[in-house]
Amino acid sequence: MLEFSKKVKNLFLIKTARENRALSKDFDIVEMPIEGVVAYWLSLKKILGNKKNNTLLEQEIKNTSEPYVKHLLELLNTSLKPEQIARFAAIKKKTILKDLQRKLILMSISILGMSTNENPQKVLLRIISKFPISPIYEQQVFEAAQTIVNNLNQKNLNKDKFFNIDHRLKIESLIINLIIYNMLARRKNHQELTKFLPYIRSFYFAEGLSLIIDGFDYDFIKYRLNLQKKEILEHTETKMDLSADLCVGIKLNLAYAELRTIARSYLL
């Protein structure tokens, strides 16, 4: 077990996670720094110019995978008034944040279960309890997860698919992949889990797993996960509000300098 002073030193910089985690190649508003979000919208303003260019905007919509930004671009490409765009952007923000919060909770349940080597069946029950109606059959989850774990050394196993944890996964896939990790944690020494970090795209899950690998205890991990979840949700909401304001500003045909001034309201 690490000394407490070393735990505190490593708290905000989990080396294992940052060095080994596979970085997302897509624009992800959850993990992108706020400066990056500002740069995106200001660059879009430069590309579009002072007049709405439907061709360029439609091309940008086609090439954008980030769900909230894509929705804003689609709203921008309509005849809706600025206040209507702001309204529907707020509705979409609420929907996405609710989904993100639930997925972060499921990840934390899995991480805490691994930290105590809890039976994966109990972990799955905790996960399912977060839904009014289970999105997946228990037997289906265990059969799928067990098949992956039993074929761990097969060369044709798609590790990028089955060992990835990402808030953008469909809920069924996320649950199966989480249970795979809980099964692995019961079979392997926690240090052996390091080799799976490169497949994880969620920094939240990667850091939680790294805390287990580094020997942190349950209470410390739970405290860190709760704190980080709160920060992620707050920062994501801020970046969404910023994006909506700049999107509306583009709709109003504000000058580049005016948009930059709006953006600075969100920066230190």
Is residue 233 a part of any domain in this protein?
Answer: yes
pLDDT surpasses 80 at 228: yes
Domain that holds residue 183: 33-264
**pLDDT tens-digit map of 134-173:** 888 989 999 999 999 999 988 899 999 999 999 999 999 9
| 6: confidence class by pLDDT, cuts 50, 70, 90 | very low
Q: For residue 205, is it within any domain? A: yes
Q: pLDDT-derived band of residue 235, with 50, 70 and 90 as boundaries?
A: very high
The average pLDDT across 175-202 equals 95
2 in any annotated domain:
no
What is the average pLDDT score of the chain? 89
Determine, yes or no, domain membership for 8: no
Counted domains in the chain: 1
Please check whether residue 14 lies inside any domain of the structure.
Answer: no
Residue 24 falls within a domain, yes or no? no
What pLDDT shows up at residue 51? 67
Residue 203 domain-assigned (yes or no):
yes
H helix runs in the chain, sequence order = 4-10, 15-20, 34-48, 54-63, 67-76, 82-115, 120-128, 138-150, 159-162, 171-187, 203-213, 218-251, 256-264
pTM above threshold 0.75: yes
Is residue 56 domain-resident?
yes
pLDDT reported for residue 153: 87
Give, in order, the Cα–Cα distances in Å from 170 to each of 103, 135, 136, 166.
10, 10, 11, 9
